[in-house]
Structure 1
């Protein structure tokens, strides 16, 4: 049984504030990619979709002379660190199971290696799925952060994904009983 739904998360003012900064359409598309990948790799779809929805809530706005400066952003970005912290705090506040909130936050922390020193990072399956889901929706120059989606359509897509997650969790529970 899920304590917190994607809809609960999506409608929270903190989520709305930061998703509008980093791109609502990108967050939703990434959550759908995470759902598909979680099914493919046998990872918890609830955790995967939540982490993917929230993966960019730590974005800063990097501007130079009034325009977005993608190169400065790439050189100085730590959005995954800030996003993991924001997501964890938000999820705990909403009543998410503390262990789930931690797993989601860690997946957000490790969805990119742009801020990490050079070297190979060994990710857990949930962390890999969020990274792959994000990459599946990327566009050159960060353009994926600027795609637009109508607020009403965005909510409908989140509610649809909630139903898909719930159905999958029910199937999984029945399989465990059989």
Structure 2
């Protein structure tokens, strides 16, 4: 079975649709942070980078009176739940291994506890914690990290470089 790459994931129409909402720059940047953290924490960088790339694909827009309302959005936020479902479906469609798809979607689901009535501190796996930390590194007040711009060609170039780094690690493990 050939590995599903970050570029494969990124180029899919579903990914394109949902990363437009949450921000391509943020998704690609978080994937880079996840790779570095995965190496440090001895976590599979393939799983970490895929989960990080897809972690916010459940975002939606919340407008009130024609203006973005961050506080209302946060109050009703379930993006991690929607994102986990979308990530799983997408990875299965791309031919990803079912266990990989499950682990990635769980990391997407648990990258934040903002939608839960309790905290997940100390309850995440190492992979889930890597994705949480990678996201946190790029966060800005009022969700401004979602509005940074990145051209798709630049994103593909950066993801291709990440894919190559992941491939080297995976080849060394064989």
Query: How high is the TM-score relative to the length of structure 1?
Result: 0.94
Whole-Å Cα distance in 2 between the matches of residues 44 and 141 of structure 1? 31
Residue in structure 2 matched with residue 103 of structure 1 by the alignment: 103
Deviations 1:139-168 (A, max 9, x none): 111000000011211111111111111111
Over the residues paired in the alignment, what is the CA RMSD in angstroms?
1.0
- Show the counterpart of 2:36: 36
Structure 1 residues 61-84: Cα deviation after superposition (integer angstroms, max 9, x where no partner): 111111111101111100000000
Counterpart contact for 2:113–2:119, Cα < 8 Å:
no
Partner residue of 1:22? 22
| Displacement over 2 Å in runs of 4+ | 118-121
The number of equivalent residue pairs is 173
For residues 45 and 131 of structure 1, the distance between their equivalents in structure 2, rounded to whole angstroms, comes to 14
For 2:56 and 2:95, locate their aligned partners in 1 and report how far apart those are by CA, in whole Å.
Answer: 21
User: Once the 2 structures are TM-superposed, how far is the Cα of residue 119 of structure 1 from its aligned partner?
Assistant: 3.8
Gaps of 5+ in 2: none
Cα deviation code 1:122-146 (max 9, x no counterpart): 0000000000000010011100000
Find the aligned partners of 2:151 and 2:119 in 1 and give their Cα distance. 40
Looking at structure 2, the residues matched to 67 and 165 of structure 1 have their Cα atoms a distance apart, in angstroms, of 41
